[in-house]
Amino acid sequence: MTKPSDPSKPSDPSSTSSPGGASNPGPGGASSRSNRSKEALEFHSKGRPGKIQVVPTKPLTTQRDLSLAYSPGVAEPCMEIFKNPSDVYKYTARGNLVAVITDGTAVLGLGDIGPLASKPVMEGKGVLFKKFADIDVFDLEISSKSPDHFIETVAALEPTFGGINLEDIKAPECFYIEEELKKRMNIPVFHDDQHGTAIISGAGLVNAAAIQGKQLADLKIVVSGAGASAVACTRFYLSLGVRPEHVLMVDSRGVLNTRRKLAEDDPKREWVRDTPADTLAEALVGADMLLGLSRAGLVTAEMLVPMAPRPIIFVLANPDPEIDYPTAKATRPDAIVATGRSDYNNQVNNVLGFPFIFRGALDVRATQINEAMKVAAAHALAELARKDVPQVVNAAYGEEFRFGPEYIIPKPFDPRVLTWVAPAVAKAAMATGVAQVTVEIEAYRERLQGLLGGSTAVMRKFVRLAASAPRRLVFPEGDDSRILKAVSIIVDERIARPVLLGEAEKIRAKIKALDIDLAADSFDIVDPRSDTAAEGYATRLHRQRERKGVSAELARELMRERNHFGMMMVAEHRVDGIVTGLNFAYSDTVRPALQIIGLRPQVRKIAGMYLMLHKSGMLFFGDTTVNVNVDAATLADVAEMIADAAKSFDAVPRVALLSFSNFGSVRDPRSMMVAEAVELLRRRRPDLEVEGEMQANVAVDYNLQQHLFPSTRLTGPANVLIFPNLEAGNVAYKLMRELGGVPAVGPVLLGMNRPVTVLERDCTVDNIVHMAALTVVAAQQADGVTAAAGATLI
């Protein structure tokens, strides 16, 4: 390709950014947008500014560690790499390190905002690489107005990185930059704005054509837009089998036809066709497909009417499509419609591509990402969409997906995407000779399955499950700022109908002062001091507790206290669950729950469970918050409740009762008590995998467990860890959370007659939202709506 003749000239108005990976904002008023803006700014600024950090992978705690990590020990790997350059992959992080590089000239829908202002986007891209494919990223924002200077700068960085992801560079410069860098560099160079959208939409096209009964070679395609994404998509469709003479491209001045006067070096000349059509509307007459990568509102319903029967309509302008999804479907019910939006079916989302494509390319040390690898990725996604969708994905999105007009592309949170796309890319790299190492595909696929934990998808499942059948939740601390911020999200996600306890004027003033986006009709406020039900609640409490020292006057006094009042609302089925505890001692919250709501039938003890969202998978800790003095029967009860709760998270419980002893290695009353609990639980629940007493490292390291105890009754590493006392459980989860950086969700209070969630005082807004979702699902289970066999969260 020739170098752009005028690099300083603004890009064509038809150029747009790709649909990208972020959810697009839905409709809302100025207040909603203002609040979103505030939330976004707070998200990026709170704590450590930005979204990324560098974390050492080796211990650096002693002088010896330092001497190995740096001088003099670091000289040894340096000399090994000097003698054998490929050893850089053995001794450094290069093989898992990608540069996300931009000049800031075409940032999302913001345009040319410059390299500095583009940094939050580049950091965000890095987060997605890490989250979905465990790839490390350095974001590089280059101040350069010259494509050649940009090329020289990036090419000089080759020794540092295993791959280059070009991002948000305007057209036509982006074509020239990528082409030149691919010639000069011996590592993958990939412009996601071009190829990411092409690959994901290409996967959708393969499936859409099959559903509509059309051959790719026969499709007549109209492309609205002539920017980087539009050109790259069109070229990629040719690789999939579309014929070039069947493509009409339309820019902001009309159809690229032979009557247009284009400069000799204009890259659009490639798409000039001899056609009588001059406008987009004329081009669409009889067309099988519309690919939109231009701007919002450009396509009217009338333009879709004369398209061929069973059309394919991909309108991917960001953030709003050329024609909105409902209008397109209403106008052409026989059409398959895709957009870049997350709030409609068939979202073309680039996050389905770039993390997994780079994962496959890096793992075989590919020297480039060639066309065969891109085609392999598209076909892998298309094939995956045709498979039965696992329940964890359906639950995560709150609906049942089945291959057809409304589901032609997998969902971003489908954990199978990694194990389908990356192996397909790696295989294509090996087949085309650009891989420097080979892998056995099935073994590689198995290794990928353990690369990322499925915790995110599991938690999203509970948010979606809650939203599928929302319940009423009471929040006694209705004027707490964290509660109000969480309630805004809970309403936005449709998790629950919140009931806030407190003074109405004070709560509304707090909402206004915090600039929280909460519509007045989206929640309720109840003041226990003036509520008409308070007297009846006091009478019930007096009857329940009159032989426990609660007089009629004390009962009235307690019903003026928000925690007791909220518990009675649950007991009276006025609400379905309670979320409280931010400003109360844990015992002061649990005590009224036990007195007013009580235990579930056949339950002898309650227990506190924490979900530890470890990279290797979800772990269930207990008891972490309730039972101070335990015996063997209590430990068995706790283990049984937590094992049943684990089933709600799609986990097969493997229960380990922990001690400082391994199967009698230390004969001590404390370890013997744990061993007794194991035998009690085995007799009571032969259906459960239970082992112990055992040390924690043996419980979670299955290879060690099998080596030391070949007769182990567990079929894998333990995921339900039952601690011998409250101190051990409470200390363990807090150390993992604070020092190990393992996200913790909880505590989940098990054994209550109705859903009760007791928050910790340092609970974050996100954790409050998660706990609210779990509380709603517990209420659903209590009503027999969403419980798996044997699973319960109460």
Cβ contact 258:272 at 8 Å = yes
Backbone angles phi, psi at 105, to 5 degrees: -90, -10
Q: Could you say which of 38, 90, 125, 131 is catalytic?
A: 125
252 CB burial (10 A radius; 0-12, 13-18, 19+): middle
Count of CB atoms situated within 10 Å of the CB of 253: 12
35 beta partners: none
Q: Please tell me the number of Cα atoms within 13 Å of 291 on its side-chain side.
A: 34
**How far apart, in whole angstroms, are the C-alpha atoms of residue 695 and residue 701?**
10
> Would you state the structure tokens that stand for residue 368, as one six-digit string?
């480039």
| Amino acid found at 218 | D
Terminal alpha carbon distance of the chain: 65
Instruction: Count H helices and E strands in the chain, helices first.
Output: 31, 21
Query: Considering only CA atoms, which of 758, 784, 780, 783 is closest in space to residue 606?
Result: 758
Segment holding 358, helix H or strand E? helix 354-363
**How far apart, in whole angstroms, are the C-alpha atoms of residue 140 and residue 481?**
37
**How far apart, in whole angstroms, are the C-alpha atoms of residue 221 and residue 234?**
9
> Would you state the structure tokens that stand for residue 180, as one six-digit string?
């030149």
Segment holding 599, helix H or strand E? none
**How far apart, in whole angstroms, are the C-alpha atoms of residue 712 and residue 702?**
9
291 beta partners: 223, 314
Cβ contact 132:356 at 8 Å = yes
**How far apart, in whole angstroms, are the C-alpha atoms of residue 631 and residue 331?**
68
Cβ contact 726:623 at 8 Å = yes
Backbone angles phi, psi at 46, to 5 degrees: -70, 150
Cβ contact 753:680 at 8 Å = no
Residue bearing tokens 């204009």: 266
Sheet holding 607-614, edge to edge: 689-694, 654-658, 720-722, 617-622, 607-614, 744-750
Query: Considering only CA atoms, which of 239, 244, 227, 145 is closest in space to residue 193?
Result: 227
524 beta partners: 499
Cβ contact 220:243 at 8 Å = no
Cβ contact 678:684 at 8 Å = no
Active site residue 70: yes
280-283 contacts, C-beta under 8 A, 24 or more apart: 280/222, 280/224, 280/250, 280/254, 280/255, 282/255, 283/222, 283/248, 283/250, 283/255
Active site residue 237: no
Peptide bond into 693 cis (omega under 30): yes
Q: Please tell me the number of Cα atoms within 13 Å of 215 on its side-chain side.
A: 4
Angle at 446 between CA 443 and CA 447, to 5 degrees: 90
Residue bearing tokens 């066999």: 789
**Total residues found in the chain within this entry:** 794
Segment holding 709, helix H or strand E? none
Q: DSSP of 710-764, one letter per residue?
A: TT-S-SSS--EEE-SSHHHHHHHHHHHHHTS---EEEEEEESBSS-EEE--TT--
Cβ contact 776:496 at 8 Å = yes
Q: Torsion over CA of 241, 242, 244 and 246, rounded to 10 degrees? A: 150
Q: Could you say which of 9, 70, 91, 145 is catalytic?
A: 70
Count of CB atoms situated within 10 Å of the CB of 71: 9
Q: Which residues are catalytic?
A: 70, 125
